[in-house]
Structure 1
Amino acid sequence: MNREFIEKLENNPVIAAVKDDKGLEKALKTECEIIFILYGDICNISDIVERIKSAGKVAMVHMDLIAGLGSGKDVAVDYIKNTVKADGIITTKGSLIERANQLGMYTVLRYFVIDSMALVNIEKQDRHGIAQPDVIEILPGIVQPKIIKKINSISKVPVIAGGLISDREDVMNALNNGVLAVSSTNEAVWEL
């Protein structure tokens, strides 16, 4: 686990997640220190990351959402590290987490918590110790408090929540129930 990344999340529990250039412009003007990039392609991702890093913020690229990086291969992570110069990645693929860890990048492994099988997969991931991310992100982030507590009890790494976080109540509910941070594309949440 990358302690530096965890400290950044502890100090900045609201993460701006951007899905277009308009959102990026607004996120760059906020106090959010970490930005999740949920859009782009292999032609423009370097420029997006450069703008974020020039603003003194942490740039996390969602590998699964960048057009042209869909192969799920280690070389895509190498590209994000060496060419794009991102600080870290977000993905649903454990193999990409493993490669990013080897390269010293920050890592977020996303889980869609839609049924009990998601909990089994989180537990299996932790039990086998493969591709241990810095944090896991659960979606949707407005899951019931008892589910957040259950995930915290089975996860060896801190948990963040994203998806459908739309107001102060959602943020406080997640944080008060053990989530380290929340990510949101909702610009109003960035200002909390």
Structure 2
Amino acid sequence: MNCTSLLELLADGPVIAAVKDDAGLEAALESDVSVLFLLYGDILTIGEKVARIHCADKKAFVHLDLIDGLSAREISADFIARHTAADGVISTKVALTKRARELGLVAIQRVFLLDSMALKNVERHFSQESADLVEVLPGLMPKIIRQLCQTTGKPIIAGGLISDKEDVTGALGAGAVAVSSTNPAVWAM
């Protein structure tokens, strides 16, 4: 999978299921969403989880920072690329998303916008080589989403606290290409 094919997939269904436990994974596999963010697991089970997602004809993105047994070093991206069939990765660490891109994985840079300083840091220090997409948390800030779409030049995914149709339409209307949510009710929208 490449970034263009992911964007085409998200254009058809812009809601991403973010799963944080086995019950969430089961619900996401039975849902109509086509992209899953794996926010849990360990190095012994992550390959199996990715395989299950692919068997359901869905795309799997592994959050490197949240997988037990992986470190905050580039070797984690190498592990995912070599030992799973993941379509891409998510990380808050620029070095990991940059390495994932070098390995041919779609890379999503997750950023937490806690205040204006965090926003300015993203705008100032975001590297065009570091990621294919940016996931912004919390995703309930249409004005900021619009601003980041312009300043980063990257597709934006809105995540965190997305809980109803108004949140989804607000984020998409502000320019986000998709929203991610752990809420199964959002997956059905």
Amino acid at match of 1:97: T
8 Å CA contact 1:60–1:86 kept in 2: the answer is yes
Distance in 2 (alpha carbons) for counterparts of 1:86 and 1:58:
8
Partner of residue 151, structure 1: 148
Counterpart in the other structure of 2:90? 90
- Indicate if the aligned counterparts of 1:15 and 1:36 stay in contact, CA closer than 8 A: yes
Kindly state the Cα deviation for residue 17 of structure 1 after the two structures are TM-superposed.
0.5
Offset of 1:149 from its aligned partner? 1.5
Task: Please give the TM-score of this superposition, normalised by the length of structure 1.
Answer: 0.94
Confirm or deny: 8 A CA contact 1:163 1:183 kept in the other structure.
Answer: yes
Structure 2: distance between partners of 1:106 and 1:86 = 9
Establish whether residue 180 from structure 1 lines up as the match of residue 181 from structure 2: no
Q: Is the 8 A contact 1:6 1:134 kept in 2?
A: no
CA RMSD after TM alignment? 1.3
Tell me, in whole angstroms, the C-alpha distance in 2 between the residues paired with 1:139 and 1:14: 15
**Matching residue of 1:191:** 188
**Partner SS state of residue 72, structure 2:** coil
Contact 1:36/1:62, CA 8 A, preserved across alignment:
yes
Residues 117, 130 of structure 1: CA spacing in aligned structure 2 closer, same or farther, 3 A cutoff?
farther
Aligned residue pairs total 188
Note the residue ranges of structure 2 that are not aligned, 5 or more in a row. none
- Percent identity over the alignment is 49
The AA in structure 2 aligned to 1:138 is: V
Task: Write out aligned runs for 1:22-171 (5 A).
Answer: 22-69=23-70, 71-126=71-126, 128-131=127-130, 133-143=131-141, 145-171=142-168
Displacement, 1:146? Answer: 1.6
Superposed displacement of residue 167, structure 1? 0.7
| Equivalent residue letter for 2:128 | G
